[in-house]
Structure 1
């Protein structure tokens, strides 16, 4: 049972010492006046209570009277004492946004004030010293019980608020990803609620889930925040998706830092979209991030940044159509032994990256330029395309991009 749901109180044994019970009854009669005096003290010394804007003086007084009544009830030997006022205080202070340390400070100041008043009353009533010591032990126990009930209710309410805020943030992220927020005012409001700057550059990050309901990037928001990178995240059925803001003055460095953090945190493959400037572009960026994470891996790294070159975009834009193009162009290469096929494709890639220079290609793959020319001629023979015709080169390059990027 949660702390906030208990209403039957905390069981207390009847005080064995009649002097303690006498003191409890004496102070219980003074509880309302004492609580009011305690409230005045706290409103002077606690910032959150001082001007009444966060918590009113009446609310402070209500809590103080409940506190001292609880303690003096225990001294008077009452069998059942109710902790629900303490739980109510904890819940209301959390809702008001009063920091728990401030509430605990108020309890400490109030307890000292209450006990000083109790000691003075005990001496005036000629209560024996041994009885005062016994009462002290009971008061400390009662105060601890009351304080624990308050703090447990505070933390429970705070947890509920955090969960609610995160659910709201998650829903906003999904709304941006699905392009349900489009007007400027709503986008600015969304950025504010997500604690993101109102303008880019942003990127969308998509991470595969290692298992259903298991995050691919655990605690990633706090890890990025530690590197001064703001983000907001949403768990989808198949992906963990985040909107990440990059530093305007050092976008390249910020992207490099992001890749580094993601690389250390990733438990599965992660894709990053190209940078974009407006939150309205988030849904398009998600598509690129998905393509980066679902495409053919380039090397052993788990993190892939989508390459926004025209060929790369074309290669992954219509996977079924592109797969047919790859098959029609490179189909004859599929009949070759795997090792030979890889050699021909690697040579073609080096030639493209070298701007069509056989000499530079040879330097890249550590062979003779004539070997490069021979392999390229084999590609021409097998595909029926000529590297001297621009249209044929375009088809070969597109097929190669599809080969590289699609599973």
Structure 2
């Protein structure tokens, strides 16, 4: 059964070389006998003339390359055994498949095609020199020699094209595989999987863990702009794992080593992209950073921050580090509501208007530690008014305004409520 060629190998285009030539059997036999020696000389010349391969052909590798060269040269000579003559437009499967495999091997080794194409050029020259000498000695006419040269180099072009196709296919395949592993790594990181699972996923993705990772959530449409400006190790999590239900069309970026002094730079890079930025966490605990961002998003934007998906270009990122107090106080909205109801119950005895004034005064008194002048300045009232209102509050709350536990409860209850205007 004929060997199946990879579908990506392009059909070769043969040069216009006139009628095909037929090698006499004696010429073919002589050149076949010389193949091992020609292959050895070809490899030796490549090692000398192509520096990238200086140490690549030693030992078993060198023997494998020699065999590949023999297959390539033998493929050409196989054409000559056909009664119709040598036709370079008719591909020889084993030789082309071998060239294709060489191209894929180069890509896996991290090399470009430059070295391999140089090796082909050197190989064509060396092989032509020795094979033409053998062919003429065996009886090939001088008139057929020039056409023979055209056929040799046309055949080399076919091998080169097959290797280029193999190289491109390997890069595409390995790129898709690595991207899949990187996406999988991001997903298991956000899932908070055990360290041994994360380490294994990082190894599969060929991704070196940084010291910390910072979770960034932003509209999916703006993720590409952000990635172009961030560390190349930044992971992007697929939309399905980006948030509850995935309906918000957000992307999650996991940015390496963006804590400490580097955080300001990260915020500058994300300016205008509608991003929300979590804290830096050890790389294996970035799920905690992501949870912080999601909690901040559930709280809604700060008063001077637009929603993520409509943020104008001059909108600063939502920095969760700047909202820690609010995040703590609003971690349980129902509990906070119950606390306010309980601790502010004494104010239920007064009218709504009086309650509003006394609440504002009590909050300012707590924040300014009882400093009457500062309270008056904040509320735009006379210090005597502050003294009068505090007298009312002491009548309502009694000794509880001296109790540290009550003061803590009042601070929490009033700390994140909107400031109520004074009369």
* TM-score higher than 0.5: yes
Structure 2 stretches lacking a partner, 5+ long: 81-85, 241-245, 306-314, 345-355
**Cα deviation, residue 288, structure 1:** 0.6
Aligned length: 358
Q: 1:217 to 1:9 in 2, by over 3 A?
A: closer
**Cα deviation, residue 147, structure 1:** 0.9
Computing the radius of gyration over CA atoms, which structure comes out larger, 1 or 2? 2
Matched, 1:243 2:254: yes
**Cα deviation, residue 73, structure 1:** 5.6
Q: Partners of 2:265 and 2:45 in 1: how far apart? A: 51
| Structure 2 equivalent of residue 306 of structure 1 | 320
Answer whether contact 1:87 1:150 (CA < 8 A) is retained. yes
Correspondence for 2:414 among 383, 396, 402: 396
| Structure 1 equivalent of residue 231 of structure 2 | 225
Superposition TM-score, scaled by structure 1 size: 0.66
The 5-angstrom pairing of residues 5-404 of structure 1 reads: 5=7, 10=12, 16-17=18-19, 25=28, 29=32, 30-43=34-47, 45-48=50-53, 50=55, 56-71=61-76, 76-77=86-87, 80-82=90-92, 83-118=96-131, 120-121=133-134, 125-128=140-143, 132-182=145-195, 193-197=206-210, 200=211, 202-210=212-220, 216-218=222-224, 220-221=226-227, 223-225=229-231, 230-237=233-240, 238=246, 239-246=250-257, 251-263=259-271, 266=273, 269-276=274-281, 278-298=282-302, 299-300=304-305, 301=315, 303-307=317-321, 311-318=325-332, 369-370=380-381, 390=407, 391-400=409-418
Q: Partners of 1:27 and 1:374 in 2: how far apart? A: 117
Root mean square deviation of aligned Cα: 5.0
Structure 1 stretches lacking a partner, 5+ long: 331-340, 402-407
SS at match of 1:275: strand
Q: Partners of 1:43 and 1:400 in 2: how far apart? A: 78
Answer whether contact 1:203 1:244 (CA < 8 A) is retained. yes
Greater CA drift, 255-264 or 41-50 = 41-50
